[in-house]
Amino acid sequence: MNTRRNFLQKLTGTLIALPLLSKDGFANMEKHIRDSFYDGPVLRVAIMGLGSYGSRVAEAIQSCTKVKLVGVISGTPAKITAWQTKYNIPGKNCYNYENFDAIKDNPDIDAVYIITPNALHKDQAIRVAKAGKHVICEKPMALNAKEGKAMIDTCKKANVKLLVGYRMHFEPKTLEVIRMRKEGEMGKVLFFQGLCGFRIGDPTQWRLNKALAGGGSMMDIGIYAVNGSRYMIGEEPVWVTAQETKTDAEKFKEGVDETIQFQLGFPSGAVASCLSTYMMNGLDRFYLNAEKGFAEMQPSTGYGPIKGKTNKGELMQEHKTHQTVQMDEMAAIILEGKQPVVPIDGEEGLRDLKIIDAIYAAVKSGKKIDLLH
């Protein structure tokens, strides 16, 4: 943990530059002033896996108040060098996949954000926890519920936090719909529809490799509909049915799902009907129907801005970079014990994995799967 105590010096520097600022400059200055007055704890994070999403998260962290990117773990030396230069990362905070257990002796890193292919999450998370560092892990948290449970148990034993990268749990329009539903402004929820998909390109990428991805579209994008159905309806499902369609068996090999439709039943009687696919472009829509109202969001889980309306009108909450908000909120959860509106912990990740396990089982057996027993 670290504090920022030199705010007066920083502020003086900012005020001198005031007359020279453009519009973007003003936005930066606003952040700079906020940071200058921020004297609380800062979460020092190392990113593991410097790929496409890792790069997005690193950029977003630059606008955080409570998070600082201080380290990297990567299998690609050239990326490490580039990130060191770009983000001013000292050599002592750089690791590879062979030597990162030594992070336990590094007092300058508080947490590791795992942003590698899905199949690597479990073992990497366990190693990070055993090194005594908090774990932030991308979705899907692991390949199945058994792996997820092992991660939770290890983190508990090591007394470190385990958080999953569910950025939508902090998205303002999503939170407004959840608030309306919780406060009864829509009445009893009856139905949720979650449509999540995109047309996947390069057939050689890890997302289409069962060993690295653990499945296909369901692990990658369908999980948003699984997770969304739970936070939009506000209950845990009790049964699952699912059907798979495959139009390209060459690209989507055995165990890699191209399109899955699934249905979830909830204790109140509400039902969800969802689609997960790697074959349709720009499919990103949530619809919630309730006795006295509705919510419609499209796009609903992309990087935003999220757009939508409810029975009360258009959702007008301000767009903020999801990963910046997520990281600042995660720092508050880890450092200050803040409770998020929608859980973000390992148990939350595990709930989704149990449902995904059941979806795959339902596809295989063609039967309705009971989630209670």
Compare residues 214 and 237 and give the one whose CB is closer to ligand NDP. 214
DSSP 266: -
C-alpha span between 67 and 63 (Å, rounded): 9
CB of residue 127 vs ligand NDP: minimum separation in angstroms? 13
224 included as an active-site residue: yes
The tokens of 196 are what?
A: 């999540």
Among 36, 63, 118, 310, binds ligand NDP (CB under 6 A): 118
Among 36, 63, 74, 241, binds ligand NDP (CB under 6 A): 74
CB of residue 205 vs ligand NDP: minimum separation in angstroms? 7
Compare residues 120 and 371 and give the one whose CB is closer to ligand NDP. 120
CB of residue 76 vs ligand NDP: minimum separation in angstroms? 3
Q: Where are the alpha helices (DSSP H) in the chain?
A: 7-17, 23-37, 52-61, 77-87, 121-130, 145-158, 172-182, 210-213, 217, 223-233, 322-336, 346-365
First to last CA, the chain: 43
Alpha carbon of 334 to those of 123, 136, 164, 330: distances in Å? 22, 10, 12, 6
C-alpha span between 247 and 251 (Å, rounded): 9
Cβ atoms of 35 and 10 within 8 Å: the answer is yes
For the chain, how many residues are written? 373
139 included as an active-site residue: yes
User: Mask: binding to ligand NDP, 27-66, rule CB under 6 A, as x and -?
Assistant: ----------------------xxxxxx------------
Q: Is 317 in the site for ligand NDP (CB under 6 A)?
A: no
Compare residues 113 and 294 and give the one whose CB is closer to ligand NDP. 113
Compare residues 121 and 133 and give the one whose CB is closer to ligand NDP. 121
Nearest residue to ligand NDP, scored by beta-carbon proximity? 51
Binding to ligand NDP (CB under 6 A) within 159-178 occurs at: 165, 167
Q: Which of 95, 113, 166, 224 is catalytic?
A: 224
239: Cα separation from own chain's centroid: 25
Q: Is 116 in the site for ligand NDP (CB under 6 A)?
A: yes
Encoded amino acid at 43, one letter: L
Among 7, 38, 117, 210, binds ligand NDP (CB under 6 A): 117
Q: Which of 66, 133, 139, 173 is catalytic?
A: 139
**CB-count burial class (<10 Å; 0-12, 13-18, 19+) for 57:** buried
CB of residue 170 vs ligand NDP: minimum separation in angstroms? 12
CB of residue 5 vs ligand NDP: minimum separation in angstroms? 33
Q: Is 138 in the site for ligand NDP (CB under 6 A)?
A: yes
Return the HEC string of 220-265: HHHHHHHHHHHHHHCCCCCEEEEEEECCCCCCCCCCCCCEEEEEEE
Cβ atoms of 301 and 196 within 8 Å: the answer is yes
Binding to ligand NDP (CB under 6 A) within 175-234 occurs at: 206, 212, 220
Active site residues: 139, 224
Return residues touching ligand NDP (CB under 6 A). Answer: 49-54, 74-76, 79, 115-118, 120, 138-139, 165, 167, 206, 212, 220
